[in-house]
Amino acid sequence: MARNATELRFDPDRLAVYGGSAGGGLTIATSMLARDRGFPALRFQMPIYPMIDDRNETPSCHEITDIGLWDRAGNIEAWQWYLGDGKADQYAAPARAEDLTGLPPTYIDVGTVDLFRDEDIAFATRLMQAGVPTELHVNPGAYHAAEVFAPDAALSQRIWARRIEALRRALA
């Protein structure tokens, strides 16, 4: 896309990456690959409740069980599908990355009753410690993809409004 900016009629200096859940992990992996390869220049990344740690060791990973939506058992199974017989590296599981410097400004949100809560908070903290401008929102009472399942709820409306405002600020 960046190589074809003229043909596609967009400003390559306003390129951002967005994804939720496993797509949030891929958002971060894409940003790390772009940094490591030196192309394309990304202005912003928005991993939403990203799935980034295959180890399943955080307290929230042990709290969210037996709900049938996205709980511990589902997460373990998803990582097995994703990794197959392979081992996770920093691109497959961004929580394993040692160097977070040079990543684009980041917006992360996650709910208090989301399996990924603790890994996402820890990752956002590491981004800030690495000097990456990072905005983190932890939404009280929100479960994984709550804004998708209950789009008319007041909380969902606030979640979307904050995301859209962050995108506007980043791409202004």
HSE on the CB side for 124, CA within 13 Å? 24
Q: What is the pLDDT of residues 77-106, one digit of tens each?
A: 999 999 998 899 999 999 999 999 999 999
Count the neighbouring beta carbons within 10 Å of the beta carbon of residue 45: 27
**pLDDT score, position 69:** 78
Report residue 113's pLDDT band, with 50, 70 and 90 as the boundaries.
Answer: very high
Known active-site residue 114: yes
Residue 2 pLDDT: 92
Does the active-site annotation cover 31?
no
Catalytic pick among 53, 114, 118, 120? 114
Marked catalytic residue, from 21, 31, 60, 156: 21
- Residue 137 bears catalytic tag: no
List the catalytic residue out of 31, 54, 144, 156: 144
Determine the pLDDT at residue 46: 98
What is the CATH superfamily name and number for domain 2-171? Answer: Alpha/Beta hydrolase fold, catalytic domain (3.40.50.1820)
10-35: per-residue pLDDT in tens?
999 999 999 999 999 999 999 999 99
In angstroms, rounded to a whole number, what is the distance separating the alpha carbons of residues 83 and 78?
Answer: 9
Express each pLDDT in 137-171 by its tens digit. 999 999 999 999 999 999 999 999 999 999 999 99
Question: Could you state, in order of their start, the residue ranges of all structural domains in the chain?
Answer: 2-171
Structure tokens at 21: 């859940």
CA distance 40 to 80: 30
Tokens 């996650």 appear where?
Answer: 110
109 bridge partner residues: 48, 137
Task: Pick the closest to residue 103 from 163, 30, 162 (CA basis).
Answer: 30
Q: Could you tell me where the DSSP H helices lie in the chain?
A: 5-8, 22-37, 59-63, 72-83, 117-129, 146-149, 154-171
- The per-residue pLDDT for 68 is 77
**What pLDDT shows up at residue 64?**
94
- Confidence check: pLDDT of 54 > 80: yes
Residue 167 and residue 172: Cα distance in Å, rounded? 8
Residue 130 confidence (pLDDT) above 90:
yes
